Structure 1
Amino acid sequence: MKELFYYQDVMMKEFEASILKQAIAEDGRKYIVLDNTAFYPTGGGQPHDTGYLNDVEVVDVEKEDGDIRHYVLSFLPEDTKTVHGKLDWERRFDHMQQHAGQHILTASFVELFNYQTVSFHLGQETVTIDLDTSELTEEELQAVEKRANDIILDNRPIETKWITEEELSKYPLRKAIQVTGEIRLVIIPKFDYNGCGGTHPTTTGGVQAIKILSTEKQKNKTRVHFVCGMRVVHELGWRKKELSEAAKLANAPEKETAGAVQKLLDTQKSLEKKCTQAEKQLLSYEAKELAMENPTVPIITKAFVNRSIQELQQLARAIVKLAPGNTILFVSKDREQVQFVAAKGKDTEQVSMKDVSNAVFSVIDGNGGGNDTFVQGGGKTGLSPNELLSKMVEALNK
């Protein structure tokens, strides 16, 4: 293990190696095995490297049965004996920054508050650690973030050392090590001692910066989302862009955006309240107009376009209060969608409104509900609103 290129020189971007095997895996993927490699295989929470072997793209790297398999899109020519490997260095160094940053942040939580990390995930956009605590205060987060960035600014060396099980007791390990045989320690002197098989920059300064983004509860644990290195720059970039756009829309300086947005939201709520009150008044006027339109006709029918079921319900209820001797039949259509309401006043002797809804359901693909005095529903039909109203009137007169 210790002879692998990615352990001998973590900063190695390109290398030469001999081909040992080109084969097809059980799942049908092509892979190449070399006598040595700088490509890091997936493991220890760190994703695999990608890059090229000569001009063949490496899309995945895994350790299988002692071999490091470089999964490729196509094989190299059969007579190829040696290859020039080239890593996607931006991807690799990003993983190194995130992984080292995780060590530093985890050790800071332990040092300041004795909160242990129980799991770690290095994602494409953010990194997470799950802490063995159900509560984290904003003051604790700020203190840990400051401590972690102080360690980075100190530019301390990040050392690696291979030891045996017998030598473990010589080091103040942050957590117990489960592996046996060759054991690799990653050490930030006088701060963190941890068993790890991943790759990291050679100094803490290589991490550049750590920024905690958010936290969330995970049962009795707390998940911390954060970014390191260039991801901090990228995070700042898109957040700055969004803040600038929001400030322009709010017509306020960036530092005052939150207050300006809150004022806009308060104004919106006030306007929405006024609009609701105005809509109720309009519905009340409309109900009076419909009730007085034909005062001697016991059945009030109306076809609408693009009226919501809530509006039909409110309008029908308002009319039966004004004209308790009337029956109300409303239909509204929007393209192929149709909605209806049927209601009768307390002084009418009409049939149950359920008879009306059953007649409607027989010609629309939909559903609804109600009782003897009030029903509503919706669905699809090729009939026009007036044709559907006719069927509702027929149901009343049976």
Structure 2
Amino acid sequence: MTTEKLYYQGQYIRDFKTSILKQGKDEKGTYAVLEQTAFYPTGGGQPHDTGTLNGVRVMNVEETDGEIRHYLESPLQEQEEYRGEIDWDRRFDHMQQHAGQHILSAAFEEAFGYKTVSFHLGNKICTIDLEVPRLTDEETIQAEKLANTIILENRPIEAKWVSESELSNYNLRKKLSVTDHIRLVIIPDFDYNGCGGTHPSSTGQVSSIKILDWEKQKKIIRVQFVCGSRVIKQLHEKQKVLQGLTAILNAPQDKMEEAASRVLQQARVLEKTVEELKGRLIEHEAGSLLNQAETIDGRRTIQAHFEDRPITELQQMARTIAATASDTLVLFINETPEKLQIICAKGTGLAFNMNQLLKKVLPAINGKGGGNDSFAQGGGDKLMSPQQVMEELLNSLE
């Protein structure tokens, strides 16, 4: 026995009474199959309904193996009759977005001949993929204006079942993928489209459509948009952000872009200044370390232990010292909360190979790294103290 689909008999049915055909469990959880249901299952680009059955939460609804399975938070107690209640806010939002997609897709095709090849109804925004290589501001404005005109005209939205032989009576927007159980959603003199989703009974109930953005995705253009109550929500969120930026930038809304550009330019100047000053400090620290270098076997050796220093700073410092003093060996160990990092560098007057030196020590800390004759770096686990690692480096030199 198949489930009677109440959502096709009346998309505004919010609650209903039914009996259970069976309960079961699969990889997605515990489910119930009902004699009749107003819960719409995921399909045709539209997400499933949620709600309750006798107060038990319906988490998901899917059509599987010819059954409409209502996945439940917990199993239902056996009884003769059950009361189902739809989460109406979610359902009506989906109806608005889905009908809005039909209208917007038809508007792009009516105005420019741009065909929609896919549709996604997300939790916050919806997208359509247009089969075109590019899109302009003027085109999106014109399509959006046409779509909202159709909404304001409050045209009826009719859903009807037709046979394959009757399709020639309709100017379909795209070719159908089925040859039986054909359901058309019709906006008279504007859009004729095969669809199994739920829609409001008139375009006016979509309320409004707003295109948010678009981007190129391979050979198509993906258009982001919202309809109905989501337009108000987007406006509220963006207005809140603008009000916050107005206070932060100390500028009115119409001067916001200019103020933000000015702040970004100032930030770039400050960032450049900071980098220059940081470079000078590193050079100063390198000079200080060089003055404290020990002489071992006729070579100057700098041994230094750091804690949680940015590795890029230590790289720059080691290279600066090696470039300044050709007879100097640099051995840095940087200790972070998770690991030990090693930097080895030398001046041109020394014959050691830094890559070979590093590779001798890394196995002791389960490390990885490498480099060349004059500079090498690596890191590993904290299996030894920094002092012990330094001793291993010095012993490896000998």
2:332 to 322, 330, 345: 330
The Cα shift of 1:64 comes to 4.8
- Which stretch of the first structure deviates more once superposed, 83-92 or 362-371? 362-371
Written as runs of structure 1 = structure 2, the 5 A alignment for 1:328-367 is 328-335=330-337, 337-348=339-350, 350-367=351-368
Distance in 1 separating the partners of 2:318 and 2:42: 66
1:312, 1:340 within 8 Å by CA — same for their partners in 2? no
Match of 1:30 in 2: 31
2:130, 2:221 within 8 Å by CA — same for their partners in 1? yes
Distance in 2 separating the partners of 1:188 and 1:174: 11
Written as runs of structure 1 = structure 2, the 5 A alignment for 1:134-283 is 134-283=133-282
The Cα shift of 1:202 comes to 1.1
DSSP 3-state at the match of 2:37:
coil
Q: 1:345 is aligned with what amino acid?
A: G
The Cα shift of 1:148 comes to 0.7
1:374 and 1:204, CA in 2 relative to 1: closer, same or farther beyond 3 A?
Answer: same
1:98, 1:227 within 8 Å by CA — same for their partners in 2? yes
1:228 and 1:344, CA in 2 relative to 1: closer, same or farther beyond 3 A?
Answer: same
- Which stretch of the first structure deviates more once superposed, 235-244 or 274-283? 235-244
Match of 2:315 in 1: 313
Distance in 2 separating the partners of 1:70 and 1:285: 70
Spell out, residue by residue over 1:26-75, the C-alpha distance to the aligned partner (whole angstroms, 9 max, x if none): 556331322x4322233222222222333333333334565544444455
1:162, 1:183 within 8 Å by CA — same for their partners in 2? yes
1:7 and 1:309, CA in 2 relative to 1: closer, same or farther beyond 3 A?
Answer: closer
1:56 and 1:392, CA in 2 relative to 1: closer, same or farther beyond 3 A?
Answer: closer
Match of 1:58 in 2: 58
Spell out, residue by residue over 1:126-145, the C-alpha distance to the aligned partner (whole angstroms, 9 max, x if none): 22212111211121111111
Spell out, residue by residue over 1:319-353, the C-alpha distance to the aligned partner (whole angstroms, 9 max, x if none): 233322232333332345322333332234x5433
Distance in 2 separating the partners of 1:270 and 1:379: 37
Match of 2:391 in 1: 390
1:157 and 1:323, CA in 2 relative to 1: closer, same or farther beyond 3 A?
Answer: same
Point out where structure 1 has 5 or more consecutive residues left out of the alignment: none
Match of 2:43 in 1: 43
1:363, 1:381 within 8 Å by CA — same for their partners in 2? no
DSSP 3-state at the match of 2:43:
coil
The Cα shift of 1:294 comes to 5.5
- Which stretch of the first structure deviates more once superposed, 127-136 or 357-366? 357-366
The Cα shift of 1:151 comes to 1.0
Aligned length: 392
Q: 1:360 is aligned with what amino acid?
A: V
1:120, 1:130 within 8 Å by CA — same for their partners in 2? yes
1:395 and 1:137, CA in 2 relative to 1: closer, same or farther beyond 3 A?
Answer: same
DSSP 3-state at the match of 1:15:
strand
Q: 2:289 is aligned with what amino acid?
A: L
- Which stretch of the first structure deviates more once superposed, 242-251 or 138-147? 242-251
1:358 and 1:45, CA in 2 relative to 1: closer, same or farther beyond 3 A?
Answer: closer
The Cα shift of 1:372 comes to 2.8
Q: 1:39 is aligned with what amino acid?
A: F
Distance in 2 separating the partners of 1:64 and 1:313: 60
Percent sequence identity over aligned pairs: 47
Written as runs of structure 1 = structure 2, the 5 A alignment for 1:89-104 is 89-104=88-103
The Cα shift of 1:185 comes to 2.3
Distance in 1 separating the partners of 2:176 and 2:353: 76
- Which stretch of the first structure deviates more once superposed, 71-80 or 218-227? 71-80
1:323 and 1:38, CA in 2 relative to 1: closer, same or farther beyond 3 A?
Answer: closer
Distance in 1 separating the partners of 2:343 and 2:66: 72
The Cα shift of 1:371 comes to 2.6
The Cα shift of 1:206 comes to 0.4
TM-score, normalising length: structure 2: 0.88
DSSP 3-state at the match of 1:29:
strand
Q: 1:338 is aligned with what amino acid?
A: L
Distance in 1 separating the partners of 2:283 and 2:339: 26
DSSP 3-state at the match of 1:173:
coil
Distance in 2 separating the partners of 1:392 and 1:179: 73
Match of 1:378 in 2: 379
- Which stretch of the first structure deviates more once superposed, 222-231 or 170-179? 170-179
